[in-house]
A = this chain, B = another copy of it.
Amino acid sequence: MNYKIDNLQYCKWSREVFQINREAGLDAVHVTVVYHEDFDEFNSRVDEWNTYFKDNSDLIFLGKSYKDIEKAQKEKKTAIFFGFQNCSPIEDDIGLVEKVYDLGCRFMQLTYNNQSLLATGCFENVDSGVTNFGKEVIKEMNRLGIVIDMSHSAEKSTIDAINISQKPIAITHANPTFWHAAKRNKSDELLKILSQNEGMLGLSLYPHHLKDGTNCSIESFCEMTAKTAELMGAEKIGIGSDLCLNQPDTVVEWMRNGTWAKAKNFGEGTKKNSGFPKQPDWFIDARGFSNLESGLSKVGFSKNEISGILGDNWYNFYKRMN
């Protein structure tokens, strides 16, 4: 197979970014379309994407199933899969789940950092797990084929989602806490439960999720990958870079604050260091996949395992979702 998939990007989209992703050989990218937007605002984002698709039809097209990953590889394009980092587009309406699916949504986080109507985010003090409405929405996501993404959710909520969902779930962009104990990273226990239930972890290249941040070495990252593979199995690991290429700092501010507070929140950053953190030099953009390829080889992964981690595992996961 040898697919290359980055299962989370939120770049400032442009022809240049789509070209970089093609240079990186990406057959598919799961893109964040929505953070805090409601249903109408999601519709506007879809309109923007339709313009991107029209203007860059030689580079990208909307992906709807694993077959579009195959098509993308054949046509040397990148299939774009829509995802939400919050459940705001479905508002409080179970009927909107099918509507966002029809408009292309294939991944939805049950929460961003705060409590949602569905579950608890990792920045809350208390985690009550999946709510009454959350259970209904999971059923509907299962029925339609929208992946439950718990990257930003708190632990009990994530374990609830794994248990309630009839299909495997994903943590599209996070790292293990054994390596770097960030709020957004995940415990050994959780990762084991995830993998036992056929779920996938997309390793993140976002500096706040990396040991030593911007100065994280590729050796350290790949050693972490090897240990994670011991925990979960190499076939349960992919990449979800969380790359925010070319985004201005106003965007990370909006990601953290949305409209929920009058005072400014700094999320994973600090008051002094509130902007987007600088990427490590071996993963400035998706072309860093080639560095990952050699780095993973050096820590002892087989060729097959590396193909798995860099895309085939996600491809297999997409295939099981349909």
Contacts and interface: CB of A to CB of B under 8 A. Distances in A.
Contacts of A128: 115, 120, 124, 126-128
A123 B132 contact: yes
Contacts of A136: 260-262
Given A117-B116, A127-B128, A128-B124, A133 B261 contact: yes
A140 interface: yes
A114 B261 CA distance: 22
B114 A133 contact: yes
B131 A259 contact: no
A20 interface: no
Interface residues on A, range: 20 to 34
A94 interface: yes
A259 B94 contact: yes
B115 A38 contact: no
18 contacts: A92-B259, A93-B259, A94-B262, A95-B259, A114-B117, A114-B132, A115-B117, A116-B117, A117-B117, A117-B260, A123-B132, A124-B132, A125-B129, A126-B128, A126-B129, A127-B128, A128-B128, A132-B261
Interface of A: 36, 38, 88, 91-95, 114-117, 120, 123-129, 131-134, 136, 140, 258-262
